[in-house]
Each structure stands twice: as C-alpha cells, then as structure tokens.
Amino acid sequence: MTRPVVVITGASDGIGAELARIFAAKGHELALVARRGERLEALADDIAAAGAVRPLPIELDLTAEGAAQRLDERLAEEGVAPQYLVNNAGFGLMGRAMELDAAEQLAIVDLNMRALTALTLRFLSSIVTAKGGVLNVASVAAFMPGPGFAVYYASKAYVRSFSEALSQELKPQGVKVACLCPGPVRTGFQARAGMHYEGLMAAMKPAMLPAAEVARQGYEGLMAGRRVIVPGWVNRALIFGSAATPRALLLPLLAAAQQRR
C-alpha cells in the first residue's frame, strides 16, 4: 500500500515554499523537490514544528537526464505515490536572445517545459487513480510575448496551453488541472533573471502580491476546479489590456518596459 503525497518542485523558496506550507496545513503529506537540499531540510523542519507530518525532502536537479525516473523511484522507496503534483520549478533570463548565453536559454526550456511535462506524464496514472490534481505555476507572461525575456515568456505560454488542454482531457476522470499565473512576486527569481532591484520594486509594487497570498489563491483555485488562476486585479487588467492591444503597438511597449527593468 502506498500513501498519497503532494509532490512540489522548486519548493526551497518563494511560491513553492509557501505552497508547501499551505498543503501541509490542509493535512496533506508532502514530498519537496529542489536542488538546494539544505533549504528543503529547513522547510521540512519548520512544517513539522507547526504540527504537520514532516515532508520528505528530495534533493534533485530536474534538468538532469532521467530525473523524473529517479524521483519516481525515490517516492516508491518511501512507499508514497503522487496524488497532487505542483510544478513550480522554473527560471528566466532577462536580455536580448541573441546576447544571452544559448545554453542558459535552453536550460529554461529544459526546466520550465521539458521537466514539467516529463513529471506530469510520469505521474498522471497515479494522480488519476487518486483523483487528485496538477497545479502548474506559469506567469502573467503566459498571455503575451516578451521581447527582452523571449524564451521565458514563450515557456510560460506553453505551460498555460498544456495545462488548459490537460484540464479538459482529465475532467471526466475527476482530476483537477490548474495553471497559476502570478505577476511579479519578490523571490529569488529576480536576481536569477538578472533584474536590478533599484527602482524595480517601486515600479512593480501595484502588481505585486506576497508569495503566501499567491500560494493561497493557487491552492484554493486548484481545489475549486479553476483552470487558470491570476492573483490580483492589476494582473488581470494587464492581461485584458494586452489581449485588446494590437501586436504592432504591444510589442514595442513591452520591449520598453523590459528595458526599464
């Protein structure tokens, strides 16, 4: 017999860590996955100290060959199987595509798209059996092109499309699939992406929500069966406005906005 768990990737920081806290508080047993094992251990200790079952920390680079299989094998060794999968791991790089390192840009594709898809496909059978769900973390970037952030924006558009299609396919089996599309959230993402903090946080403040609030809305939206979750009215207005703006006007506006970052 296997125990059901929630597998959360990118759980060492930011939205992933807050999603872990929320799922644990709701009574779910967790398996936390990230490259930084020491942070996972600390988070597992914090969750246990709050009275929940101590999560299983799994240090793993999801871009490595065979990562999905190794994660599956590790879960089986522990006698657990995914009921919910939270694909939160991801990163981006700011800059012109021709000037950024090609290998690093392909690593965005590997993590944000390939690894997310590999894990989802690997664990769908278990999730369907448990009538659980999948929460894929994308971004408001999923709704528009991103000059100056081209590969990242494109990867999140893939995540949104994949999630919505999967939601329709799995609905008859009682499985929930949701795509969480937050705006800017102050985490380690900005530093990794090459953004500069001077003036950036002030410019983004109207659209920013705390990671804990984004995670709460993500959890509640998934459990309510919503396909796409966009926290914050400013972010929803941004998406609406971008959809209504001709691309010939939108693209230079977005390019100028990225340059200010």
Instruction: Just list the catalytic residues.
Output: 152
Distant-in-sequence, close-in-space partners of 54: CB < 8 Å, separation ≥ 6: 44, 45, 47, 48
- Look at the block and give the residue holding tokens 């590999």: 118
- Look at the block and give the residue holding tokens 């690593």: 107
**CA–CA–CA angle 48, 40, 79 (5° rounding):** 70
Contact 221, 229 (CB under 8 A): yes
In angstroms, the CA 205 to CA 257 distance is 14
Cα 176 to chain centroid, rounded:
16
